[in-house]
Amino acid sequence: MEEKLQKLKELMAEVADLGHANALLGWDQQVYMPPGGAEERGYMTGTIGKIMHEKFTSDEMGLLLDDLKKYLPELDPDGETYRIISVTSRDYDKATCVPSSFITEQAQVVSIAQQAWVEARSNSDFSIFRPHLEKVAELSQRYVSFFPPAAHPYDTLFDSYEPGMKTADVKVIFDDLRLQQVELIRAIGQRPQVDDSFLHLAYDEKSMWDFSVEVATAFGYDWKRGRQDPTAHPFCQSIGPDDVRITSRWVPELPFALLFGTMHETGHALYEQGVGHAWSRTALEGGASFGIHESQSRMWENLVGRSHAFWEYFYPRLQDRFKTQLGNVGLDQFYRAINKVEPSFIRVEADEATYNLHIMLRLELEIAMLEGSIAIKDLPEIWNTKMQEYLGVVPPNDAKGVLQDIHWSGGMLGYFSTYALGNLISAQLWEKFKSINPDLDDQIRRGDFSALLSWLRVKIHQYGRKYEPQELVQRVTKSKIDPEPYVRYLKTKYGEIYGL
């Protein structure tokens, strides 16, 4: 068995190398590539993706996995060998359902679509992006057709991001969560509103960027294995555990978006930098799921970065950089302002109480696009109607509405639910860690995040893709994904801020 296992690792290492090369090309496309290079880049990523897919789905790989699976009954289900074989086999079974020609076509379509999205968003003109999104939606429908029928067609897309989870599971969670969050938002709406006008003054971009670097460093981001660059939409890109890059964006009218965006992407990066090197260039490299990934980003951005304890340490440093804007603003006033609850147009700038409603809206639209029950040309109007229904606001233009997110241009239908799941998981993990480390707030007040990061490294990061998301959450918290800790967190936090 050892000889066959070693051969499997050698084959997977080559597949992983190709994946890393494509990740690097994708990062460059969104950060430095000139706009005119989109079509050529699509050919490049399509060719590499095709070679990668054909290598992974080769007869040699299939026969090798068939031989190795015979040993599974003899192996420890929790052991490294068992998990490498079982996870690789699961990925192989999915990959063999998809023809390599589709991989090439999809890469070419999304490369051009992403560049079209950038242009459409900058011009606030959905018509520029519409034909590309129509192709992306059609590709998603074709992708689903390659697989055996599921309980819901969306399950097939969702499984790519959240293995083992079903659309029905998410709908049950969201239905319960929606009622409680709407009730909280209504209660807050009856209280005097928080003044956050000083957050929207003119701030110096470089000073805010430098401060965000200071925060990312304090969190534990390893700059010897990463970097930060500006881009149109913030993201984190792992090119292996020793090259994990983050990006952020500057929005003059929302200067603090850069800071909180950096916190968010740093959370992703800390996860990737913490994955055990034993999993490098294997099927177990990377995060357990996108929901688990989002739990890390949302934890560092919100549970840490928007906490009172965090700003007890960092606010004097921020004031020192921005004396004109914040010199006469007290800590408590600033804390309330960065946690102001108010329905807004932009998801990534949404407060914690309303954020999940943005996600639920997108889930409805994605399912409708997959089912073909709405026409892509009608999306801006449908989006605005849903925003009015969910949040009571109507975007003034496409840039602040249907064009605000990059995900659909990248072919990522099925992704958005993971943001809300990440919120729930983050609160579960937070409750668990505080139960065994009651001094966490005092540690944060000292600017010391080492205990939290070390715990996450041991309990979450090191395992990579060894466990499916529900299994991992169960192992750490003794419960599957549960909305109640998140609801408790919101009610406690905003009850204090708004005097509920």
Q: What's the pLDDT score for residue 233?
A: 84
Q: What's the pLDDT score for residue 348?
A: 85
Residues of the chain with pLDDT under 70: none
HSE on the CB side for 315, CA within 13 Å? 22
Coil, helix or strand for 288?
coil
In eight-state DSSP terms, residue 439 is T
Q: How far apart are CA 264 and CA 236, in angstroms?
A: 9
Q: How far apart are CA 384 and CA 388, in angstroms?
A: 6
In eight-state DSSP terms, residue 496 is H
Do residues 361 and 386 lie in contact, with contact meaning Cβ atoms separated by under 8 Å? yes
Residue whose token pair is 């934890």: 299
Q: Which residues are catalytic?
A: 265
pTM: 0.92
Q: How far apart are CA 321 and CA 207, in angstroms?
A: 7
Q: What's the pLDDT score for residue 349?
A: 85
Domains, the chain, with CATH or none = 2-149 (no CATH), 167-498 (1.10.1370.30)
For 232-255, what is the HEC assignment? CCCCEEECCCCCEEEEECCCCCCC
Transcribe 8-68 into DSSP letters: HHHHHHHHHHHHHHHHHHHHHHHHT--GGGHHHHHHHHHHHHHHHHHHHT-HHHHHHHHHH
Residue 479, Ramachandran bin (φ over 0: left; ψ between -120 and 50: alpha; else beta): beta
Q: How far apart are CA 35 and CA 405, in angstroms?
A: 18
Q: What's the pLDDT score for residue 15?
A: 97
Q: What's the pLDDT score for residue 340?
A: 96
Q: What's the pLDDT score for residue 156?
A: 95
* Bridge partner residues of 72 (DSSP): none
Residue whose token pair is 């690789």: 88
